[in-house]
Amino acid sequence: MRDIYDGLAGMGIPISRIFYESFGPATILKSETAAEIAPRDTVAVPVRFARSAADADWSRDRGTLLEFAESLGIAPNFGCRSGICGTCTTRILGGAVDYLEEPVAPRGTGEVLLCCSVPRRGTEIILDL
Ligand code: FES
């Protein structure tokens, strides 16, 4: 399934038009990170990890919010790293995120899934983490 996904993406098929279904928390379909999906987007977005007292500028080459947090020495909870289990659910106190693809795990108002989201351009993200 990963080979087909990568092949379609490599042919220029928009990610939003590629549909698939995964079973099990260990399934990670994409072989690339967020940084590889849109490497041209270099606009920095300020992110504050409120409880960790960490501030840093995120850009596409920093990956998902989960990858970004980990690169700063923050250790959020996670499981599948693919939007399925909901373990990485975190409250967002400010700003907005975009999902690399619509996650399977439900999330409540004011919650985001770190493993499959990136900061929305033009916002300032504040996470309760
Ligand atoms: S780690 Fe499973 S949904 Fe994010």
pLDDT tens-digit map of 92-110: 999 999 998 889 999 999 9
- CB-ligand 1 contact for 105 (6 Å cutoff): yes
Ligand 1 atom at minimal distance to the Cα of residue 105: 3
- CB-ligand 1 contact for 79 (6 Å cutoff): yes
Give the model's pLDDT for residue 72. Answer: 97
15 and 46 in a common domain: no
Q: Is the per-residue pLDDT at 129 higher than 60?
A: yes
Q: Which domain holds residue 103?
A: 33-127
The stretch 47-75 carries a mean pLDDT of: 95
10 and 71 in a common domain: no
Ligand 1 atom at minimal distance to the Cα of residue 116: 4
Helix/strand/coil percent split, the chain, to 5: 20, 20, 55
Q: Is the per-residue pLDDT at 39 higher than 50?
A: no
Backbone φ and ψ for 89, nearest 5 degrees, come out as -55, 130
Q: Is the per-residue pLDDT at 27 higher than 90?
A: no
Number of domains making up the chain: 2
**What percent of the chain is predicted at pLDDT more than 90?**
53
- CB-ligand 1 contact for 45 (6 Å cutoff): no
95 Rama class: left (phi>0) / alpha (psi -120 to 50) / beta: left
